[in-house]
Amino acid sequence: MKEKVIIGMSGGVDSAVAAYLLQKKGYEVEGLFMRNWDSMLNNDTLGNPNLDNEICPQEVDYNDALKTCEILGIKLHRIDFVKEYWDNVFSYFLKELKLGRTPNPDLLCNKYIKFDVFKKEAERLGAKYMATGHYARIKDGKLFRAIDLNKDQTYFLAQVKKEQLVDVLFPIGELTKPEVRQIAIDIGLNVARKKDSTGICFIGERNFQKFIQNYLKPNPGDIINVETNEVIGKHNGLMNYTIGQRRNIGISGYEERHYVCGKNVSRNILYVAFGEDSKFLVSNLCYLEEVNFISDDRPTSCTAKFRYRSEDVPVTLEYLENNEIKVNYPDGFKAVTPGQFCVFYQGDECLGSGIIKKVMKDDEELWYLK
């Protein structure tokens, strides 16, 4: 008797090829499409006139997933996780923005939706395993980077608990993206050349600032030169900016390059620095909260990523009370940002992660980040 697998079908090429590979290995495969966002909550164009009179992108993805499943000859389930997504992911996203931080909801989507309620639904449907199209690998209960380091998605899985990865399959973790594309072309999948989705899933291609105004009222304030304390412009709400940002800051008449280096939420100030020198972005110490370890190891030294696309940085870890960690990176690193996730690695193994709570330099909190 074949073992049953429920795979998350997103309407993209990665999950489509993953489903095909599971079939080749002899599993009984069924797909499940998750509806995590109610498109009626933001069904106007929200800054993208190209969306006028077009089918909702979520429905496009569902129709693509349905066609893929027809080609592969497998059943596709569709389930609504809108409430769970709102309660556990989007509400967190709004709360963090109000605090002036830069949240990454994708990690919590994996923790609370894909590897929690989705997995429970797979079990309800009688599956032994659940699978996704993530670029990652699991070996002996441990999480490892994908073969294709350019597409590796372990960063986004670093808040998932170890027990949530039991009976989980990542069929494309041993492949490169070009190999996945070629398989899709060779077997004639409808999504073989479909463009990869980017950005935050509930926003899609829409304008972020116009979208977020549906949920958080604009709160304009001063933009201040961090070195001279001079008011140089007005911002339209701290939630619209992140540390290190160089574009669309909203000040005019300045030819010299500039970047966002800090926020003061209590005074509603956005701090900007000028020049190529990024000294105001460099820190060498941060504190993490809500730490999650996938690995049983608790190293005192390892490497860390402070953003998805950032390089691996050598760090030392000091374990504190209340599930917090002090992270030292003596050589310094730019734009370590409160609200983002710091993800730990030992070689190719992803150990876990924590949320960046406080950023410091030489044991002193950066005043323009308070």
Which top CATH class is 217-274? mainly beta
What integer pLDDT is reported at residue 200 of this predicted model?
A: 66
Confidence of residue 370 (pLDDT cuts 50, 70, 90): low
**DSSP string covering 316-354:** EEEE-STT-EEEEEEEEEE---TTSEEEEEETTEEEEEE
**DSSP string covering 229-296:** --EEEEES-GGG--TT--SS----S--S-EEEEEEETTTTEEEEEESS--GGGEEEEEEEEEEEESSS
pLDDT in tens, 64-82: 999 999 999 999 999 999 9
What integer pLDDT is reported at residue 260 of this predicted model?
A: 95
Residues of the chain with CATH 2.30.30.280: 217-274
pLDDT at 47 over 50: no
Confidence of residue 55 (pLDDT cuts 50, 70, 90): low
pLDDT in tens, 332-344: 999 999 999 999 9
**341, 158 contact by CB (below 8 A):** yes
Residues of the chain with CATH 3.40.50.620: 4-186
Over residues 181-188, the mean pLDDT reads 98
Backbone angles phi, psi at 305, to 5 degrees: -110, 130
Confidence of residue 43 (pLDDT cuts 50, 70, 90): very low
The residue assigned the tokens 């073992």 is 3
Cα 208 to Cα 199, 203, 216, 249, distances in angstroms: 10, 7, 12, 14
- In this prediction the pTM is 0.92
Residues of the chain with CATH 2.40.30.10: 279-369
Cα 274 to Cα 69, 280, 332, distances in angstroms: 53, 10, 20
The residue assigned the tokens 């923005």 is 97
pLDDT at 304 over 80: yes
N-term to C-term CA, the chain: 59
Residues contacting 200, CB < 8 A, separation 6+: 105, 106, 208
pLDDT at 184 over 50: yes
pLDDT at 238 over 60: yes
**221, 269 contact by CB (below 8 A):** yes
Average pLDDT, the chain: 91
pLDDT at 364 over 60: yes
Least-confidence region, from 13-22, 43-52, 345-354: 43-52
**Which CATH number is correct for 279-369, 3.40.30.10, 3.20.20.80, 2.40.30.10, 1.10.10.10?**
2.40.30.10
**Which CATH number is correct for 4-186, 3.60.21.10, 3.40.50.620, 3.40.50.10490, 1.10.340.70?**
3.40.50.620
Cα–Cα distance for residue pair 165/154, rounded to 1 Å: 12
What integer pLDDT is reported at residue 41 of this predicted model?
A: 57
Residues annotated as catalytic (active site), given as ranges: 109, 201
Q: Count Cβ neighbours within 10 Å for each residue of 145-172 and write b for 16 or more, e otherwise.
A: bbbbeebbbbbbbbbbeeebbebbbbbb
Q: Count Cβ neighbours within 10 Å for each residue of 358-367 and write b for 16 or more, e otherwise.
A: bbbbeeeebe
pLDDT in tens, 114-163: 999 999 999 999 999 999 999 999 999 999 999 999 999 999 999 999 99
pLDDT at 245 over 80: yes
pLDDT at 39 over 70: no
State the burial class of residue 272 (Cβ atoms within 10 Å of its Cβ: 0-12, 13-18, 19+).
buried
- Which pair of structure tokens corresponds to residue 260? 């966002």
